[in-house]
Chains A and B, each alone.
Chain A
């Protein structure tokens, strides 16, 4: 148990904080939802009704999709795009997918390399892209979930206002769907872009996300 906590402190801390904030969101979301219900002259709902509502689902899913889009773009973008001086960027001569020697593939695998890195062929091709592929797949599935839950929540509001519900394809072209998507994307892209650039000149001692405190501003791809 002690070894498990030591080996997974980062994953456990963020996992626990995720669960706590999700519960917090559900409580604040319920209060907000019920304020709107009262303003509309309808009955407030209970906690269980709220956390099983499409309104709660779309609010969570829209944030999930944007986070995974951010990581998907960052994983792929940093293969090819350079940012001088950033600990998030590779040195300019290593841009691209790199050699087998750099990536410990082909005849450069070691005894400890993962089985699919040693296998060659399609398995190594898939494994070589597995992180980005999973992030991209989770993003697409979360965006799909957002679209379905958002569509249901939108139609529920439409019916409440005695207006006609719309079909899913029409919802994909709606202002509600794109407002929810873009408002999350813009903040993620700003945070990631600014982090890559701010870390050129600013430091956080001891963090692998930062360059060493004494590193030169022009030093790229160093972490401390």
Chain B
């Protein structure tokens, strides 16, 4: 299950990075 936990975290990181990136771009360009 350790393999799968790594995948779980990877997806959470992708989503968090994406969200942070979009919000930052919006705020910077406002």
Contact = CB atoms under 8 A, between A and B. Distances in A.
Partners in one complex: yes
Nearest to B15: A138
Nearest to B12: A134
B3 A8 contact: yes
Max chain B C-beta neighbours (<10 A), residue from A145, A151, A153? A145
Given A4-B3, A4-B6, A7-B4, A152 B14 contact: no
B11 A53 contact: no
Interface on chain A toward B: helix, strand, loop, or mixed SS? helix
Contacts of A57: 21-22, 25-26
Contact of B19 (A56, A138, A156): A138
A176 B30 CA distance: 16
Interface SS of B by simple majority: helix
Contact of B25 (A53, A138, A144): A53
A149 B7 contact: no
* Most chain B C-beta atoms within 10 Å of own C-beta, residue among A7, A53, A57: A57
B18 A60 contact: yes
Given A7-B3, A142-B19, A152-B30, A15 B25 contact: no
In the complex, which range does the number of interface residues on chain B fall in? Answer: 10 to 19
B19 A54 contact: no
Nearest to B8: A11
27 contacts: A7-B7, A8-B3, A11-B10, A18-B14, A53-B29, A54-B25, A54-B26, A57-B21, A57-B25, A58-B22, A58-B26, A60-B22, A64-B19, A141-B19, A141-B23, A142-B22, A145-B23, A146-B22, A148-B26, A148-B27, A149-B25, A149-B26, A149-B29, A152-B26, A152-B30, A153-B29, A155-B30
Interface of A: 3-4, 7-8, 11-12, 15, 18, 52-54, 56-58, 60-61, 64, 138, 141-142, 144-153, 155-156, 168
